[in-house]
């Protein structure tokens, strides 16, 4: 949702509380999109702190489906996002400052972009179906959590392969 900030920026000490749905069915980490399984609404408090300055604080929880980094099994990954931004009207015309605030459009706050921004900041370093996930076999593709496949997973040293070629020539 686009929320026009003009009113709150100019009304000293005004506080607005909003409940806004997140309008997306997927989330993105900038590379790929993943399905959202559950989501709450965004609760957002906008508080005028001084002329032209607004503090935005909010919360939203999502549960997304992201494949395990090792075996690709879908994993339910919860996100509990806490949003805290200090918005200054004087920054809105500074292109450098605006690069860090992709959720400001003119004098409006794009609540979906605000959430997207927070999702990227909170993206997990690793997604694993379980801490000791064994991954998939590089030879046959079997999920090694379901048992050993018996493949020879020895990867020859590429330098040794060159020597072998010389001898085979």
Site string for Zn ion, 5-44 (x = CB under 5 A): ----------------------------------------
- Cα separation of 119 and 117, whole Å? 6
CA-based radius of gyration for the chain: 24
Q: Which two structure tokens, joined as six digits, stand for 90?
A: 């004087």
Give yes or no for residue 66 binding Zn ion (CB under 5 A).
no
Q: Which long-range contacts (CB under 8 A, 24 or more apart) does 23-29 make?
A: 23/112, 24/112, 24/116, 27/62, 27/64, 27/79, 27/116, 27/119, 28/116, 28/119, 28/120, 29/119, 29/120, 29/123
The residue (of 120 and 151) whose beta carbon lies closer to Zn ion is 151
Give yes or no for residue 133 binding Zn ion (CB under 5 A).
yes
Q: Which two structure tokens, joined as six digits, stand for 71?
A: 């075996």
Contact window for Zn ion (CB under 5 A) among 5-13, 36-44, 65-73, 103-111:
65-73
**Shortest CB 78 distance to Zn ion, Å:** 17
Give yes or no for residue 68 binding Zn ion (CB under 5 A).
yes
Give yes or no for residue 77 binding Zn ion (CB under 5 A).
no
**Shortest CB 68 distance to Zn ion, Å:** 3
The residue (of 39 and 70) whose beta carbon lies closer to Zn ion is 70
The residue (of 109 and 129) whose beta carbon lies closer to Zn ion is 129
Q: The sheet that has 2-4: what strands, in order across it? A: 2-4, 108-110, 104-105
Name the residues that contact Zn ion, by CB under 5 A: 68, 70-71, 73, 129, 133, 137, 139-140, 142, 149, 151
């Amino acid at each position: 949702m686009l929320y026009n900030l003009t009113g709150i920026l100019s009304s000293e000490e005004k506080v607005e509380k909003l409940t806004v749905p997140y309008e997306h069915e997927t989330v993105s980490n900038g590379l790929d999109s993943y399905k959202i399984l559950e989501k709450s609404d965004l609760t957002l408090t906008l508080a005028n702190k001084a002329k032209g300055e607004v503090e935005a604080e909010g919360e939203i929880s999502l549960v997304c489906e992201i494949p395990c980094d090792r075996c690709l099994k879908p994993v339910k990954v919860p996100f509990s996002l806490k949003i805290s931004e200090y918005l200054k009207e004087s920054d809105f015309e500074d292109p450098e400052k605006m690069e860090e605030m992709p959720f400001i459009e003119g004098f409006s706050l794009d609540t979906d972009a605000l959430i997207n921004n927070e999702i990227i900041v909170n993206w997990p370093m690793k997604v694993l179906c379980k801490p000791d996930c064994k991954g998939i076999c590089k030879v046959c593709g079997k999920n090694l959590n379901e048992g050993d496949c018996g493949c020879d997973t020895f990867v020859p040293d590429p330098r040794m392969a060159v020597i072998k070629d010389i001898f085979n020539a």
